[in-house]
Amino acid sequence: MLNSLWLIPTFPFLGALILVLVGSRLSRQVAARIGAGSVGLAALLTMAVGYDFLNSGVGAYQYTAWNWFDVAGLSTSFAFYLDPLSLIFIFVITFVGFLIHIYSVEFMKEDEGFARFFAYLNLFVCSMLILVLADNLVLLYLGWEGVGLCSYLLIGFWYSEAKNGYAARKAFIITRVGDTAMAIGLFMLFSIFHTLNIQDILTQAPQVWVAGTSMAVVIAFLLLGGAVGKSAQLPLQTWLPDAMAGPSPVSALIHAATMVTAGVYLITRMHTIYELAPLAQLWVGIIGAVTLLLAGCSALTQFDLKRVLAYSTISQIGYMFLAMGVGAWSSAVFHFMIHAFFKALLFLGAGAVIMALHHEHDMFRMGGLKNKLPVIYWTFLIGAASLAALPFVTAGFYSKDQILWLAWAGEKGNVWFFLAALTGAFITAIYTFRMVFITFFGKAKTQVSHVPGKRITIPLVVLSILSVFGGFIELPHTLGHFTLFSDFLSLLLPSVSLREGVESSEWILQGIAGLLALTGVYMAYVFYIRSPRISDEIKSSTYVLHQFWLQGWNVDALYNFLFVRPFVYISTLNKNDVIDKFYTMLVRATEFFNGVFVKTQSGILRWYVMGIVVGAILIITISLFVQP
């Protein structure tokens, strides 16, 4: 079964191909079957391949489909590499992807571009699978750009509105900035290792470099550039909130569960290099810590339901970066998986709410949906609880708790990382339940026009089950000490060694984190249910700050000022190409002299005689004075 690994990305690829070529002629039902079915097949196959892989006991499996190009020592193939890390990723991609496809069948059922939507979505799943299965960095780059393309296409899916197109282009261009850094990283890696095969690089790196070599640090930073672009971390985070212009299933699949965590995958995959480059690794952590705080604050002030979730995604990926910064690789991957479950759930829930309320995005015009949309309410509540990391019962608690603990207790951890993570957890609880209370409680402000059907509710229920029970496969020391997940990755990813004498404090930190989460929920309850006046007063007294956070710390305005406007200005200024002026002037000069000399040809004989005489005199005079 392992040798059918290549079929996993192939199914969605074929789905996309069929839908692109003949999609417009297919009925919606057939298009839906092809679109969702191909990903379903991929998910089933992933189960089978994964089962075989676990039973076979091999550490990794490699499959080469064909040689891509081979020039002067740069040899790349379409080759797939399966190991525990890629297995977890393809499991999440195909399984969550499949649920989202099913959801989309109902969500998009009235859309004109039904087949086009599934074509893009399938192409995305294919690219994402190639990204995580690639055995060399060039193929990874192919998947990497491929998901970027699909993200662009799907953000701008409703293309007739100019603002969607703007958001799509913004996403593509900003991530391309990061990709460019990453590409330069690949050039450097090739010039050092003479290969771009990931495993070869990882085995050779410790032999070629000693820890802290500047070359390793530079390369690690360049790859980090790619990662922050895709994963919407500081300083390239600005595209993600705008990316919410796409349909909600897209936000769930691409901008929450899978693509935006590609940066996490890349860094985890290349973790050997980061361990040889402590400075770069520290910066991974710093970027994560700062991003999770900044994005958390922005999430507090949003009124668009999906934008809350977008900022929340940025913030949660910040946690993953923080985990990688302290070397807690398996915690980062664990949080990725759990986050994929609950954030996909929340986006799908938000999508269902928005659909039920006639495309109303503003939370303050929702309200009172608790009783009208009970399934959505309960599943959303579970997702929210997991996001807020309510202690013991939610998966989010276990995944986030690991990161909090290792940010403090890990060898590379420190008190600042820990405080950032803890503050972030508190903020998360507040904005999450602010969202829940505003949306589902209080008075109904918009009438429900559409009650979601089974295709929407079933994926929600499945995801909410995962958002609760997914956490129990990895329990901390203090609570059962069950480490299925990290054991699975232990051969591949080193575990964190703790600082001395911190072990006893684990339960205290857990207690603090749990209490903070609960306090956050209570505060949200006080502000938005019990006495909403308080929140209004806070809002009006801190109006400037509120606006600042609402606009995402005005980073957009800054980049517009620094990069976009100068570029457009210069480009427009020189539209007619200043260099051409030079040649035009050459032509003008020629014409000018032509005009001057034409006058000598006047047709008047006496001028000609005069000219001949003057010329003769000149020549004779010169020949007298200048002896050859």
* Residues found near other proteins in the complex (CB under 8 A): 20, 24, 66-72, 74, 78, 112, 138, 141-142, 145-146, 149, 152, 156, 159-162, 165, 168-169, 172-173, 176-177, 179-180, 183-184, 186-188, 190-191, 567-568, 570-572, 574-575, 577, 579-580, 582-583
In this structure, are residues 108 and 247 in contact, taking their beta carbons and an 8 Å threshold?
Answer: yes
Q: Where are the alpha helices (DSSP H) in 478-604?
A: 484-490, 506-525, 532-541, 543-550, 555-559, 565-573, 578-598
Helix H or strand E encompassing 415: helix 415-440
**To the nearest whole angstrom, how small is the minimum distance from the Cβ of residue 183 to other proteins?**
6
Residue 149 Cβ vs other proteins, minimum distance, rounded to whole Å: 6
| CA dist., res. 266 & res. 271, Å (int) | 8
Structure tokens at 435: 């969202």
Separation CA 286–CA 326 (nearest Å): 10
Give the nearer residue to other proteins in terms of CB position, either 173 or 208: 173
Is the CB of residue 248 less than 8 Å from the CB of residue 354?
yes
> Could you tell me the smallest distance in angstroms from the CB atom of residue 282 to other proteins?
24
Range 174-209 burial, b when 16+ CB lie within 10 A, else e:
bbebbbebbbbbbebbbebbebbbbeebeebbeeeb
Residue placing its CB nearer to other proteins in the complex, 182 or 320? 182
Least Cβ distance, residue 63 to other proteins (angstroms): 17
Helix, coil or strand: residue 551? coil
Q: Give whichever of 575 and 606 is closer to other proteins, judged by the CB atom.
A: 575
Tell me whether strands 474-475 and 61-71 are parallel, antiparallel or unpaired.
unpaired
Residue 226: CB minimum distance to other proteins, A = 12
**Closest Cα to residue 447, out of 348, 376, 362, 369?**
369
Contact 158/62 with Cβ under 8 angstroms? no
Nearer to other proteins, 16 or 328 (CB): 16
- In the complex with other proteins, the residue whose CB is nearer, 229 or 459, is 229
Nearer Cβ to other proteins (393/562): 562
Measured at the CA of 131, the angle between CA 130 and CA 133, to 5 degrees, comes to 60
CB 230 → other proteins: shortest distance, Å?
Answer: 14
**Considering beta carbons, is residue 92 or 133 the nearer one to other proteins?**
133
How far, in whole angstroms, is CA 500 from its chain's centroid? 36
Q: How far is the CB of 481 from other proteins (least distance, A)?
A: 44
In the complex, least distance from residue 489 CB atom to other proteins, rounded to whole angstroms: 28
Cβ of residue 184: shortest distance to other proteins, in angstroms?
Answer: 6
Shortest CB 48 distance to other proteins, Å: 27
C-beta of 120 vs 311, nearer to other proteins:
120
CB proximity list for 359: less than 8 A, separation 6 or greater: none
User: For residues 220 and 516, which CB has a smaller minimum distance to other proteins in the complex?
Assistant: 220
Residue 369, CA distances (Å) to 306, 308, 338, 527, 594 in order: 16, 18, 26, 19, 84
DSSP string, 184-238: HHHHHHHHHHS--BHHHHHHHHHHH--TT-HHHHHHHHHHHHHHHHHTT-TTSTT
Of 507 and 592, which CB lies nearer to other proteins in the complex structure? 592
Tokens of 104: 């989309």
